[in-house]
Structure 1
Amino acid sequence: MELNHLTSESARIDAILPDKDRIRLIQRDHWYTYPRGDAVLSHMERLYQHARIDRMPNLQLIGESMSGKSRLLNRFALELHPAILDSRLDADFRPVVMFDAPTTTTSQALLQEMLIAVNAPFSVGANPTRLMAQIEKVYRRIGVRILIIDEIQHIVRGSGRQQRELRDQIKLIGNRLRISIVAAGIPEASNAFASDPQLSNRFHRLELKRWHINDKDDLKYVVAVIKSWQETCPLKKQSNLLNESIVQRIFDETGGLFGHIIDYLKIASEYAIVSGDEYIHENTFRKMGWRIPKEVEDRYFA
């Protein structure tokens, strides 16, 4: 069987696996280098390497749902700086701790989530002062350098008093632990720190925007991702995903959101295996069962 359309030996080996195994490979998380993602990872790495100072620099990462935000955070926390769990050590080493902001907008809930994220037991009735004292002890012991709080938009859904309380708590966490904080969320979270100039000034802001087909750079980078997918996806025949009409279709049906683009390619590739076609073509997109996401439909088809 000729598999010359696949550019690596490992991809050619994958292509001769049983169908169910190839589908699992397609469904896995994939990482593709692209400038916006690289810029975010580089900034986070700078925070990770930063000297400990009284006022540590922080990052606010804003992006629509499916913009690739969560994949970037997981890439940094779980793949580039994973925890080291070793029973021979006195304590685990967790340089990056990540968790979702609680939907209950209180300092107590935030601090509890920080302890849950590192599997540290705590008293449910403990007040914020006691919880913070425990966090200082635990986080120093396990070597935390960066705290990632995802879904930070939950903060702005509380009352004015609750929002102030949480902003003050986040400021205290940074001051006491002397660690950098990455606060990530959807555009609703853009103003999470705006009403506190002291805190806002500590957070550099980066935004993950949609890709636009009319932007030459955006088009180039998305085409590069599609090309990489085509050259590594374990299908037995060559697809022609770089055809202009197919690239246009991918943009149209995903709204240029990075997460949707990857999901679109995954579903098309799965269908190519299940159908027996073994390559992706125009009929694949019509038959594979893709449903245009609501946020794309509302924006482009209203």
Structure 2
Amino acid sequence: MNNEVSHLTARAAALLAETDERRIRAIRSRRWVLYPRAKQALDRLRALLGHPRGTRMPSVAIYGDSGMGKTMIMKRFRDEHPSSFNPLTGTLKTPVLAMEMTSRPGERRFYAELLTLLGAPQRPRADIAQMEQAALRIMEAIGVQVLVLDEVHNILAGSYREQRIVLNTLRFLSNRLQISLVCFGVNEAREAISGDVQLARRFQQFTLSRWAANDQFETLIVSILRNTPLRNPSVLTAKSLRRILQITEGITANIFHMINSLAIDAIENGHERITDEVIESWEPDFDTEAAYA
């Protein structure tokens, strides 16, 4: 790689040939940045696909405050294992099926959402047993191996009885289809899953904690900067890193927002780098207590 762009990944370096407007657009777009903690989470999820099928399949629950990158990890895992169609056999295979847990989910609403995701026509007067059998038949036919549930803490919005029914439904699907479950949610989601002891025992827990002043945080900042198409390298001091933590409260979404804003300013003012001085003077335009995906 040319020494003039050695501070960037190949993909970010390629953007330097674009106009400032295109570079700014690229910075504002949601882009994947691999950092060690995200890789650890993805490695756990990938291992599920290689696990031999059985009646008590291992599952993974990923918890963290809003804005810690759970949804980005979920989408990355889903996109790494897309559906594929075999034109010779005429079969569709979907190893990873991802859905969002609806607000106040019940058994009927859960199956309705699942069937919609599967693209299945629904009879208005179909009972739950018919919806269940349709979902089982289609999921088995397309070879689902992992069912991913985002916003799983929404289970808590239902009554105790509704919570138990939904958890029983998840356990039933896992047992019948011999599939793994992956649940993403805020920290309160632990309470939701613990409502079914048998189900909870199957879950390996992975927590995305807020960032602290350590080597992992420094690696995160370096990874973001290497994926940010600025012509000059940004070399930040320990003081600047502490300032970023203070402003963002260790929330991943806030960190990305801050670095992106500073990078756009650097393009617009022609400096093409993020400096300690601009970090010290930067004021956030986000509410640090707001919820992020």
What TM-score, normalized by structure 1, do the two folds share? Answer: 0.87
| Equivalent residue, structure 2, for 1:255 | 249
Distance 1:5 1:57, change over 3 A: closer
How far apart are residue 286 of structure 1 and its match?
6.8
After the TM superposition, list the runs of 4 or more consecutive aligned residues in structure 1 that deviate by more than 3 angstroms. Answer: 2-13, 28-35, 85-89, 282-289
- Which shifted more, 262-271 or 138-147? 262-271
Contact preservation (8 Å) 2:104, 2:157:
no
What amino acid does structure 2 have at the position aligned with 1:236? R
Q: Deviations over 1:226-269 (max 9, x none)?
A: 223333421123323x2122211111111112232222211221
| Equivalent residue, structure 2, for 1:193 | 193
Distance 1:284 1:251 in 2: 15
What amino acid does structure 1 have at the position aligned with 2:191? N
Distance 1:228 1:204 in 2: 27
Distance 1:4 1:45, change over 3 A: closer
- Alignment size in residue pairs: 290
Contact preservation (8 Å) 2:63, 2:207:
yes
Matches within 5 A, 1:89-168: 90-168=90-168
How far apart are residue 86 of structure 1 and its match?
6.0
- Which shifted more, 126-135 or 144-153? 126-135
Distance 2:284 2:178 in 1: 46
How far apart are residue 90 of structure 1 and its match?
2.2
Distance 1:85 1:272 in 2: 45
How far apart are residue 10 of structure 1 and its match?
4.6
How far apart are residue 142 of structure 1 and its match?
1.2
Aligned pair 1:239/2:234, yes or no?
Answer: yes
Matches within 5 A, 1:1-302: 3-4=4-5, 6-8=7-9, 10-78=11-79, 80-85=80-85, 90-213=90-213, 219-240=214-235, 242-282=236-276, 284-285=278-279, 290-295=284-289
RMSD: 2.5
Contact preservation (8 Å) 2:254, 2:288:
no
What amino acid does structure 1 have at the position aligned with 2:74? L
How far apart are residue 98 of structure 1 and its match?
0.5
| Equivalent residue, structure 2, for 1:300 | none
How far apart are residue 100 of structure 1 and its match?
0.6
How far apart are residue 105 of structure 1 and its match?
2.0
Contact preservation (8 Å) 1:63, 1:187:
yes
How far apart are residue 103 of structure 1 and its match?
0.8
How far apart are residue 294 of structure 1 and its match?
3.3
What amino acid does structure 2 have at the position aligned with 1:102? T
| Equivalent residue, structure 2, for 1:299 | none
Q: Unaligned 5+ residue runs, structure 2?
A: none
Contact preservation (8 Å) 1:54, 1:178:
yes
Distance 1:238 1:184 in 2: 35
Q: Deviations over 1:137-180 (max 9, x none)?
A: 11111111000001001101111111111111111111121111
How far apart are residue 44 of structure 1 and its match?
1.2
Distance 1:89 1:290 in 2: 55
Q: Deviations over 1:167-215 (max 9, x none)?
A: 11111111121111111100121111223221221222221111111xx
Distance 1:212 1:191, change over 3 A: same
What amino acid does structure 1 have at the position aligned with 2:172? L
Contact preservation (8 Å) 2:240, 2:280:
no
Distance 2:198 2:10 in 1: 53
Distance 1:8 1:38, change over 3 A: closer
How far apart are residue 28 of structure 1 and its match?
3.2
Distance 1:125 1:266 in 2: 50
What amino acid does structure 1 have at the position aligned with 2:46? E
Q: Unaligned 5+ residue runs, structure 1?
A: 214-218, 297-302
